[in-house]
Amino acid sequence: HDLWLRYHALTTAPAGIDTRQAVQLVAGPGSPTAKAASGELIRGLGGLLGKAPELSGAVSRDGALIVGTPASSPVVAGLHLDTRELGREGYLIKSVVVNGHTATAIVGNDDIGVLYGSFRFLRLLQTGHPATGLDLRDRPQVKLRVLDHWDNLDGSVERGYAGASIWDWWKLPDYLDPRYTDYARANASIGINGTVLNNVNADPLVLTPAYLKKVAALAGVFRPWGIRVYLSARFSAPIEIGGLKTADPLDPAVRKWWRDKADEIYRVIPDFGGFLVKANSEGQPGPQDYHRTHADGANMLADALAPHGGIVMWRAFVYSEHDLDDRTKQAYNEFKPLDGQFRDNVLLQVKNGPLDFQPREPFSPLFGAMPKTPLMMEFQITKEYLGFATHLVYLGPMWEEVLRADTYAKGKGSTVAKVVDGQLDGHALTGIAGVANIGTDRDWSGSVFDQANWYAFGRLAWDPTQSARAIADDWARMTFAPDDAVAKPIVGMMMASREAAVDYMTPLGLAHLMGAGHHYGPAPWDDSLPRADWNPVYYHRADKNGIGFDRTRKGSDAVDQYAPPVAAEFNNLKSTPDAYLLWFHHLPWDYRMRSGHTLWDALVMHYTHGVDEVKQMRATWATLDGRVDAQRYAQTAAFLAIQQHEAQWWRDASIAYWQSLNHLPLPAGYAPPA
Ligand code: GCU
């Protein structure tokens, strides 16, 4: 349950550190954040080196650590390091010589930068780097790096597969579970600086005074770790807890209610982050209930928060059963015309794809389409559509794929990452959110490998250009062991895992074929839900002749929501990558793929490949028996067995269903469904 902050003793001492004596830690007293930084170094080095560092006022032997800001530490100031480019949250780590002794300086302009730098230094040691010749600088590329908890006030977690909510509302504010600090430490270690405590399907009660006290208590725990709290606000709260007759965003009484509410919140939480809002989506109330626009709604809340420096994260996840247009087009239809109408302290929070956190989707066409509005990325860390907590699916490659996708909004190289980090359109207010996979399970995330998704999210939010593989490598070394014999096979499994899941669940651009409601397991035949756009059959459109959703100009024309070069690529069957084939095209079963196989044969091969990949993952894991502690070995082995069984289930059920429509035989050498 220490996550990636295990700090188990290193078997070989890092170069530059003499493990026969305690490391000198030159750090002044100071703010709670400064104390958190030295506390973490004491804990981390104590574990890694077997000897806790000794606090010291000056460097008097080799291998010392000098930690602090130029303003708070004369020793740091004496190093005359250039910290101008570091901003508030950045840091530098540099090997220096002081009083004739070697030392490592961990320096920021603010204590929070020093804390991030301290975690980075520990990471270097955890992953087997030497403590010599260091000269690195880093700062976050994205301003708001936020976890969204879909936690309900009754302790349940929507789409949570790791136990109950870790917020013990019942005992708050008087009892502060030590877990809250562990949570904050883990987040700070990967640079997460915000947390939305409650579900987007929000209970207005969280905005009442009794709950605000509890929220304030949590904010107090998180503050030293650089983490601000945010709340999901229910748009109709003025009616439900305010006694008003309306929640119309242009009604003066409603506006005043929200202003007063914001004032009240900031009285108890002076650094409150702001609101996250799901409005007019899946039955939630919103401004359209009063014939107002999403901009009217967002701006009203933004105006209430602005005097306090708060922000609004307004979600773009909207679609309606009354709208007959392709569901994947609806968010763009709704929001694109509103570009330029939002206040400066509003971010539009957009899911990575236009549908809903599928194993694979093309990037949302909103990225690049709203240059006047900061678009905040919303990823889902919890694996709602990816096998919950048992399937080993490392999401790094999926997020990397989206972030590196080219929107062509301002010509070639206009990647989604550049939209999100503000570079493309010059936004200073930027953000990335991830729907958390955290709960009361002892391992926090429902499985050891799901911890990697939390970890990777934080690392990519800090710097969206990082490589998923490098992040997996760090995580594997920190979580298991810093040696290649353990880390390499684990990274190999992780890197193959996402494509495996795509293959055994929804290959070649298929999507949303999971069991209705719970979204676990195959149900491509399902058309039982009351809304057409919730049913798998809406998405695959298969019959005896063919399969796929025609989103070209001959079909729903979703392609034209992308910039012209991207639209042209996806509109044309010949240039559409196989990965998105059936997302954009409806094709006959005997369509000839680039590989020369028919579409049907290729589909069967992909399903089978997915299953084979899981078998391979199991075999790889088996080679680690004895190299990984017994408990984590056994859990992963058992989960991989479940995954293999269920990958087979996905394959067999899907193939059997398609065969019930197309009556085609399996390609030679491919076994029939068991
Ligand atoms: C998905 C998910 C819901 C969630 C919704 C959202 O549809 O199944 O549980 O509320 O996304 O993101 O708002």
pLDDT tens-digit profile of 293-306?
999 999 999 999 99
Identify the bridge partners of residue 27 per DSSP, sorted by sequence position.
Answer: 67
Last residue of a domain, one of 138, 171, 194: 138
Distance 351 CA to ligand 1 centre (A): 11
Inside any domain, residue 19: no
Ligand 1: does its nearest atom lie under 6 Å from the Cβ of 278?
A: yes
Ligand 1: does its nearest atom lie under 6 Å from the Cβ of 378?
A: no
For ligand 1, pick from 159, 161, 380, 381 the residue to mutate: most ligand atoms within 8 Å of CB.
159
Q: Do 48 and 196 reside in the same domain of the chain?
A: no
The count of domains in the chain is 3
Task: Give exposure, 366-385, as e/b (b: 16+ Cβ within 10 Å).
Answer: bbbbbbebbbbbbbbbbbbb
Three-class DSSP category at 201: coil
Q: Which two tokens stand for residue 156?
A: 């349940």
Inside any domain, residue 574: no
Ligand 1: does its nearest atom lie under 6 Å from the Cβ of 351?
A: no
Q: Which two tokens stand for residue 608?
A: 């089978």
Q: Do 507 and 610 reside in the same domain of the chain?
A: yes
Identify the bridge partners of residue 66 per DSSP, sorted by sequence position.
Answer: 26, 105
Q: Do 404 and 534 reside in the same domain of the chain?
A: no
Inside any domain, residue 559: no
Ligand 1: does its nearest atom lie under 6 Å from the Cβ of 201?
A: yes
For ligand 1, pick from 156, 235, 282 the residue to mutate: most ligand atoms within 8 Å of CB.
282
Q: Do 201 and 130 reside in the same domain of the chain?
A: no
pLDDT tens-digit profile of 59-86?
999 999 999 999 999 999 999 999 999 9
- Beta pairing class for 274-277 and 54-55: unpaired
Question: Which range marks the domain in which residue 528 is found?
Answer: 503-549+586-662
The candidate with the shortest Cα–Cα distance to 8, out of 407, 481, 525, is 481
Q: Which two tokens stand for residue 644?
A: 């293999």
pLDDT for residue 607: 98
Residue 29 confidence (pLDDT) above 90: no
Three-class DSSP category at 25: strand
Three-class DSSP category at 190: coil
Q: Do 332 and 261 reside in the same domain of the chain?
A: yes
**282 in active site:** yes
Q: Do 148 and 132 reside in the same domain of the chain?
A: no
Whose alpha carbon is nearest atom 11 of ligand 1?
A: 356
Instruction: Give the position, in ligand 1's atom list, of the atom nearest the Cα of 519.
Output: 8
Q: Do 345 and 376 reside in the same domain of the chain?
A: yes
Inside any domain, residue 492: no
Q: Do 173 and 117 reside in the same domain of the chain?
A: no
Ligand 1: does its nearest atom lie under 6 Å from the Cβ of 356?
A: yes
Distance CA 398, CA 381 (A): 11
Distance 161 CA to ligand 1 centre (A): 14
Instruction: Give the position, in ligand 1's atom list, of the atom nearest the Cα of 378.
Output: 12
Three-class DSSP category at 281: coil
What would the mean pLDDT of 508-527 be, rounded to a whole number? Answer: 96
* CATH code of 85's domain: 3.30.379.10
- Could you tell me if 118 and 107 are in contact, meaning their C-beta atoms sit under 8 angstroms apart? no
Q: Do 424 and 306 reside in the same domain of the chain?
A: yes
Instruction: Give the position, in ligand 1's atom list, of the atom nearest the Cα of 278.
Output: 13
Q: Do 158 and 252 reside in the same domain of the chain?
A: yes
Distance 159 CA to ligand 1 centre (A): 8
Ligand 1: does its nearest atom lie under 6 Å from the Cβ of 331?
A: no
pLDDT tens-digit profile of 86-108?
999 999 999 999 999 999 999 99
Determine what percent of the chain is predicted with pLDDT higher than 90.
Answer: 97
Distance 509 CA to ligand 1 centre (A): 21
Confidence band (pLDDT; 50, 70, 90) for 28?
Answer: confident
Return the H-helix or E-strand segment holding 280: none
Ligand 1: does its nearest atom lie under 6 Å from the Cβ of 158?
A: yes
- Could you tell me if 347 and 357 are in contact, meaning their C-beta atoms sit under 8 angstroms apart? no
pLDDT for residue 191: 98
DSSP state of 353: S
DSSP state of 204: G
Confidence band (pLDDT; 50, 70, 90) for 273?
Answer: very high
Distance 278 CA to ligand 1 centre (A): 10
User: Per-residue DSSP letters for 637-652?
Assistant: HHHHHHHHHHHHHHHH
pLDDT tens-digit profile of 231-272?
999 999 999 999 999 999 999 999 999 999 999 999 999 999
Three-class DSSP category at 140: coil
Distance CA 314, CA 346 (A): 7
Amino acid at 55: L
Residue with tokens 């260091």: 134
Ligand 1: does its nearest atom lie under 6 Å from the Cβ of 320?
A: no
Residues 89, 110, 151, 356: which is the catalytic one?
356
In 507-628, DSSP assigns E strands to 546-547, 587-588
Angle at which helices 484-505 and 630-662 cross, to 10°: 20
Residue 377 confidence (pLDDT) above 90: yes
Instruction: Give the position, in ligand 1's atom list, of the atom nearest the Cα of 281.
Output: 13
Inside any domain, residue 272: yes
Q: Exposed, middle or buried, 177 (CB in 10 Å: 0-12/13-18/19+)?
A: middle
**384 in active site:** yes
Inside any domain, residue 7: no
pLDDT tens-digit profile of 585-628?
999 999 999 999 999 999 999 999 999 999 999 999 999 999 99
Residues 54, 62, 182, 282: which is the catalytic one?
282
> What is the rounded (10 degree) CA torsion for 568, 431, 463, 482?
-120
pLDDT for residue 59: 96
Three-class DSSP category at 519: coil
Last residue of a domain, one of 138, 157, 182: 138
Inside any domain, residue 321: yes
pLDDT for residue 649: 98
- On average, the pLDDT of the chain sits at 97
- Could you tell me if 513 and 525 are in contact, meaning their C-beta atoms sit under 8 angstroms apart? no
pLDDT for residue 516: 87
- Beta pairing class for 91-98 and 135-138: antiparallel
Ligand 1: does its nearest atom lie under 6 Å from the Cβ of 583?
A: no
Q: Do 181 and 129 reside in the same domain of the chain?
A: no
Distance CA 198, CA 214 (A): 12
As a whole number of Å, the CA-based R_g of the chain is 26
Angle at which helices 396-404 and 448-462 cross, to 10°: 20
User: What sections of 326-482 are H helices per DSSP?
Assistant: 330-335, 396-404, 416-420, 448-462, 468-479
Instruction: Give the position, in ligand 1's atom list, of the atom nearest the Cα of 199.
Output: 10
What would the mean pLDDT of 475-482 be, rounded to a whole number? Answer: 97
* Residue of higher predicted confidence among 354 and 528: 354
> What is the rounded (10 degree) CA torsion for 324, 361, 553, 602?
-120
Angle at which helices 111-126 and 468-479 cross, to 10°: 70
Q: Exposed, middle or buried, 486 (CB in 10 Å: 0-12/13-18/19+)?
A: middle
Interface pTM, i.e. ipTM: 0.99
Distance 315 CA to ligand 1 centre (A): 11
Amino acid at 58: A
Q: Do 319 and 364 reside in the same domain of the chain?
A: yes
Distance CA 583, CA 601 (A): 18
For ligand 1, pick from 203, 350, 356, 383 the residue to mutate: most ligand atoms within 8 Å of CB.
356
Last residue of a domain, one of 138, 156, 176: 138
pLDDT tens-digit profile of 561-592?
999 999 999 999 999 999 999 999 999 999 99
Inside any domain, residue 556: no
pLDDT for residue 1: 73
Confidence band (pLDDT; 50, 70, 90) for 134?
Answer: very high
Distance 667 CA to ligand 1 centre (A): 38
* CATH code of 235's domain: 3.20.20.80
- Could you tell me if 275 and 233 are in contact, meaning their C-beta atoms sit under 8 angstroms apart? yes
